[in-house]
Amino acid sequence: MKKWQFWLGLVISLFFVVWAVRGLDWESFWVSVKSAQYWWLIPGVAVYLVGLWARAWRWHYLLRPIKPIPTKRMFPIVCIGYMGNNIYPFRAGEVLRAVILKRKEGVSVSASLATVIVERIFDGVVMLAFVFLNLPELARINSDSGFVGDIQSAAVWGSAVFVGALGIFLLAAMFPHMTARVGLWFVTHLLPKRIQEKIIGIMNKFLDGLESLRSPFNVLMVFVTSVVIWLLETGKYWFVMHAFDFNVSFFALMLMNGIVNLATTLPSAPGYVGTFDTPGIAVLQAYGVDKAAATGYTLVLHIALWLAPTILGAYYMMREGIHWNESLRDEMKETN
């Protein structure tokens, strides 16, 4: 990774961590962590793994027009990709899984990345739906944390970005020939001739990756699957909550899930350090949860969310005989 990107993420994470622990009663925090009933993590992790399988099915569905690949073959690659997101900055795991898919199934990296971007756009739309669903409650809850006071306007701007991006991708998918002509004009008029042929090839393969969006039924299927995925992840939040001495509604955890996952789109240190934790603690405080309990819960939840795909991804990487070597790094760099 480029050094400036790494240091930028580190600085942002440090800022959020300092914000999270400001005014924290450390003694109460440790009591909360030590007294937690950790067996609740078992059903929580199980639900999260079902969500990972649903992600593999969604990716299989998006790639089906390019190459039909069974979900059971996609699942290990998805786990490896999420492991990459957890240990490398700037969601490098997305590129990693596209590169591994090319190695194992012969699908071009450009087409794979198109489907990955589509996944992220749908995820963003669902996350914002979770936030909007709770806007009436947000308007009446106490917001001493200072974090969610402007969440309504942030949600509006976020919706404009994600819905706008989704609209552009849908138009590109429905009118591929027109999109290709427009893209060709920009490439031939704005880029040096020595790279034009390569960029045109990447653009065409990228458009191939959007083929699944040409059917309204496919778009609906991807959206419904995305909702199921994030409801399952909220289910993990709900199970882990029972390990701690507080209780909020499932809708409150949907709101927390939406906000923290939108916040993790910000640059950060590997594993979304700080960008996941600070907004999560703030949302729980807004619902009246003591900061020590909110911090303990969010930390345990974050670790559980980090460990499950990271361990699975490392296992599958070893099982598939994939090594983090110079060859793999070079393939990933070529996509940047």
Give the pLDDT confidence of 220-267 residue by residue, as tens digits: 999 999 999 999 999 999 999 999 999 999 999 998 998 888 888 888
- So what's the pLDDT on residue 324? 66
Higher pLDDT, 155 or 242: 242
Q: What's the confidence (pLDDT) of residue 146?
A: 47
Average pLDDT over residues 52-56: 96
Mean pLDDT (whole number) for 259-281: 88
Q: What is the pLDDT of residue 80?
A: 93
Residue 269: phi and psi, rounded to 5, are: -65, 160
Per-residue exposure over 236-263, b if at least 16 CB sit within 10 Å of its own CB, e if not: bbbbbbbbbebebeeebbbbbbbbbbbb
Give the pLDDT mean for 267-293. 90
Q: Find out whether 79 and 312 touch, Cβ atoms under 8 Å.
A: yes
- pTM for this predicted structure: 0.86
Q: What is the pLDDT of residue 310?
A: 94
Q: Tokens 């971007």 appear where?
A: 117
Task: Please state, rounded to an integer, the average pLDDT across all residues of the chain.
Answer: 86
Distance CA 177, CA 321 (A): 40
Listed range (70-79, 81-90, 141-150, 177-186) with the worst mean pLDDT: 141-150
- Name the pLDDT band for 145 (thresholds 50, 70, 90): very low
